[in-house]
């Protein structure tokens, strides 16, 4: 029993309502709520690292009938990442939306998004997962459409339709789970799930729905437009956190709850599209004409890596190597979360100064915005997976596992993906360092530049050199039926 678990959900929810009724104070409400939410997420993470799995049966109803909230290593880490990223985004957004007509709308939707995300990470029950998934999707679509404009609206609509389709497939899967196993409580399911047709059908449906939301190739088509046309703070949230929520569920389903159902042949079904996504996404990012589009395609590639990790882990028997791969997967996911949000915030700063984000016309950026250029470079290092970033460590683990399990095919994939990623990063930096006058007046270091820099530093230095604790935290699982 732990009441700690409701705070990461209730705080942003209450703030969202407050911001709705008191729009003139929306910014302050948002910042304070982000701070309190951050504290509550860190509290949860700290408690989990000390005591292990936390559980809370809401209203005193036992799981099965009532709704259970649970926090284990995986959810605690994602929760903490969400708290940190959203704090930085909030600080930046307070400047970005200052004096904008969309200010109140942004904060309400943004706080709702945070509520849904945290509820999703903490849900111990598949139906709640469905509800939070929908809530998250609706809030995300509202945010993506915030900028107005034809392109943003079209992208948001496409995002909504495909997202709904994904949720429906997920819900159908949930129905099959209930029909087959008589329970929706994830911990119970982890104990009873067996390789029977109902499990296969359910897993197929749910995974099908989730990979739309997690933008796995070739179902990523909605992502680049939606992420690139949203306002920068929103893009940061969408790329860093929202796609991760769907990915988180795939990890839960494939590696924990339905662990005994997933065969190593099935792993190829998500591994191969993952591999293609790595190469294709990086290639598209290299060809992208706009900075935010580059970042969005890079997200497609990074998600490809994450699915590769899942496929590799699913092919391993339970045990230490598998826990190591899973931890590397989480490390990769949170590195990307921090780095990509830093990247989008940096892109937002550049875009507001230059009035556009066409890469070829960004000459002079390095001179006008040295700190932001540095942030973009640092975030880029983590995205490429160069040392000393978390991405480098994760990639090392990925390659080790691929070689040790004889799956040589992933070597050229990772190699090519890395080189293409380096190419798109240095192409950007080449333009940024070139002489030019495109970027407007020099900026005082402050609420705009510091949050992005802090995120980028977290992705590179902190996760690259000080993430050893993850390897102890991830094996603390509430759902591992057969043990990790």
Partner 1 sequence: MTLSFWLPLAILLSSLIPGVLIFLLAEERHRTRTALNLLGAVTKLILVGVLIWGVFHEQVFETRWALAPGLDFVLQADALSVLFVSLSTLLWLVTTVYAIGYLENSPHRSRFFGFFSLCVTATVGLALAGNLFTFVLFYELLTLATYPLIAHKGSAEALRGARIYLGYTLVGGLLLMIGAVWLHSLIGPVDFVQGGMLAGHGQLDPGVLRWIFLLLILGLGVKAALVPLHGWLPQAMVAPAPVSALLHAVAVVKAGAFGIVRVVYDVYGVEFAAGLGVLDLLAAVAAATIVYGSFKALSQDHLKKRLAYSTVSQVSYIVLGTAILGPLATIGGLVHLVHQGVMKITLFFAAGNYAESLGIHRISEMDGVGRRMPRTTLAFTIGALGMIGIPPVAGFISKWYLGLGALQAGVGAWVVPVLVASSLLNAAYFLPILYRAWFKRPAGSWPAERPHAAGGELPGALLWPPLATAALSLLAGLFAASPFSPLEWAQLIAAREYRP
Partner 2 sequence: MSLTLLYALTGTALFLLGLRATLLHAGLLARVVALNVSGAGVFLILVAIAYREAGQPVDPIPQALVLTGLVVAVSATALALALHRRLIKEQAHE
Which residue, 165 or 399, is less far from partner 1 as judged by CB?
Answer: 399
Contact call for residues 81 and 467 (beta carbons, < 8 A): no
Rounded to whole angstroms, how far apart are CA atoms 411 and 355? 41
Rounded to whole angstroms, how far apart are CA atoms 468 and 446? 31
Residue 268 within binding range of partner 1, rule CB under 8 A = no
Question: Over the range 21-53, which residues count as b (16 or more CB within 10 Å of their CB) and which as e?
Answer: eeeeebbebbbebbebbbebbbbbbebbbeeeb
Contact with partner 1 (CB under 8 A) among 218, 430, 446, 483: 430
Contact with partner 2 (CB under 8 A) among 6, 57, 131, 457: 131
Which residue, 66 or 430, is less far from partner 1 as judged by CB?
Answer: 430
Task: Give least dist CB 434 to partner 2, A.
Answer: 34
Task: Give least dist CB 137 to partner 2, A.
Answer: 8
- Map residues 149-168 to x or -, x wherever contact with partner 2 holds by CB under 8 A: xx--xx-xx--xx--xx-xx
Which residue, 49 or 183, is less far from partner 2 as judged by CB?
Answer: 183
Rounded to whole angstroms, how far apart are CA atoms 30 and 113? 12
Residue 404 within binding range of partner 1, rule CB under 8 A = yes
Q: Is 127 helix (H, G, I), strand (E, B) or coil?
A: helix
Task: Give least dist CB 162 to partner 2, A.
Answer: 9
Which residue, 154 or 352, is less far from partner 2 as judged by CB?
Answer: 154
Which residue, 146 or 342, is less far from partner 2 as judged by CB?
Answer: 146
**Choosing among partner 2, partner 1, none, which partner's interface includes residue 296 (Cβ < 5 to 8 Å by kind)?**
none
Question: Over the range 122-136, which residues count as b (16 or more CB within 10 Å of their CB) and which as e?
Answer: bbbbbbbbbbbbbbb
Contact with partner 1 (CB under 8 A) among 355, 415, 446, 483: 415
Task: Give least dist CB 296 to partner 1, A.
Answer: 23
| Residue matched to tokens 């990012």 | 285
Rounded to whole angstroms, how far apart are CA atoms 256 and 212? 21
**Choosing among partner 2, partner 1, none, which partner's interface includes residue 393 (Cβ < 5 to 8 Å by kind)?**
partner 1
Radius of gyration of the chain (CA): 21
Contact with partner 1 (CB under 8 A) among 11, 40, 82, 418: 418
**CA dihedral for 72, 77, 81, 84, sign (positive or negative):** positive
For the chain, the distance separating the N- and C-terminal CA atoms, rounded to the nearest angstrom, is 24
Residues from 336 through 375 that contact partner 1 (CB under 8 A) = 370, 374
> Which residues in 26-101 belong to E strands, given as ranges?
54-57, 68-71
Output the CA torsion 314→320→326→331 (10° steps): -160
**Choosing among partner 1, partner 2, none, which partner's interface includes residue 422 (Cβ < 5 to 8 Å by kind)?**
partner 1
Residue 387 within binding range of partner 1, rule CB under 8 A = yes
**Token pair of 33 as six digits:** 């709520």
Contact call for residues 199 and 257 (beta carbons, < 8 A): no
Residues that bind partner 2 (CB under 8 A): 127, 130-131, 134, 137-138, 141-142, 145, 148-150, 153-154, 156-157, 160-161, 164-165, 167-168, 171-172, 174-175, 178-179, 184
Residues that bind partner 1 (CB under 8 A): 320, 324, 327-328, 370, 374, 381, 386-388, 392-393, 396-397, 399-401, 403-404, 411, 415, 418-419, 422, 426, 430, 433-435, 464-465, 467-468, 470-471
């Amino acid at each position: 029993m732990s009441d700690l678990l409701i705070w990461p959900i209730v705080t942003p929810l209450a703030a969202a309502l407050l911001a709705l009724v008191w729009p003139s104070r929306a910014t302050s409400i948002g910042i304070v709520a982000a701070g309190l939410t951050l504290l509550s997420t860190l509290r949860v993470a700290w408690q989990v690292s000390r005591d292990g799995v936390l559980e809370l049966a809401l209203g005193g109803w036992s799981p099965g009938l009532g709704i259970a909230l649970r926090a284990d290593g995986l959810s605690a880490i994602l929760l903490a990442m969400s708290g940190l990223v959203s704090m930085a985004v909030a600080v930046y957004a307070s400047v970005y939306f200052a004096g904008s007509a969309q200010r109140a709308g942004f904060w309400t939707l943004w706080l709702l998004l945070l509520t849904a995300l945290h509820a999703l990470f903490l849900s111990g029950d598949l139906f709640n997962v469905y509800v939070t998934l929908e809530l998250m999707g609706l809030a995300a679509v509202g945010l993506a459409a915030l900028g107005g404009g034809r392109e943003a609206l079209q992208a948001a609509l496409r995002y909504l339709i495909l997202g709904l389709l994904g949720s429906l497939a997920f819900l159908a899967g949930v129905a099959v789970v209930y029909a087959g196993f008589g329970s929706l409580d994830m911990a119970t399911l982890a104990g009873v799930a067996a390789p029977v047709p109902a499990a296969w059908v359910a897993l197929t449906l749910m995974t099908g729905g989730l990979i739309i939301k997690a933008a796995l190739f070739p179902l990523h088509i909605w992502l680049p437009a939606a992420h690139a046309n949203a306002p920068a703070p929103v893009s940061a949230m969408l790329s860093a956190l929202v796609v991760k929520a769907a990915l988180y569920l795939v990890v839960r389903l494939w590696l924990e709850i339905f662990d005994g159902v997933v065969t190593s042949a099935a792993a190829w079904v998500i591994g191969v599209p993952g591999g293609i996504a790595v190469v294709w996404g990086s290639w598209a990012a290299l060809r992208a004409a706009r900075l935010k589009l580059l970042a969005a395609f890079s997200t497609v590639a990074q998600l490809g890596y994450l699915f590769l990790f899942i496929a590799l882990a699913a092919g391993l028997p339970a045990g230490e190597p598998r826990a190591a791969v899973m931890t590397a997967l989480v490390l990769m996911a949170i590195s990307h979360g921090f780095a990509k949000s830093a990247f989008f915030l940096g892109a937002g700063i550049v875009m507001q100064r230059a009035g556009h984000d066409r890469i070829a016309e960004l000459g002079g950026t390095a001179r006008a915005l040295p700190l932001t250029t540095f942030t973009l470079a640092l975030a880029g290092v983590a995205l490429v997976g160069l040392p000393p970033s978390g991405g480098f460590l994760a990639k090392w683990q990925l390659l080790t596992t691929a070689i040790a399990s004889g799956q040589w095919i992933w070597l050229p994939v990772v190699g090519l993906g890395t080189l293409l990623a380096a190419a798109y990063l240095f192409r950007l930096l080449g333009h940024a360092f070139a002489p030019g006058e495109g970027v407007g007046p020099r900026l005082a270091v402050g609420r705009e530049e510091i949050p992005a820099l802090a995120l980028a530093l977290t992705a590179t230095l902190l996760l690259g050199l000080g993430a050893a604790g993850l390897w102890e935290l991830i094996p603390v699982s509430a759902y591992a039926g057969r043990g990790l």
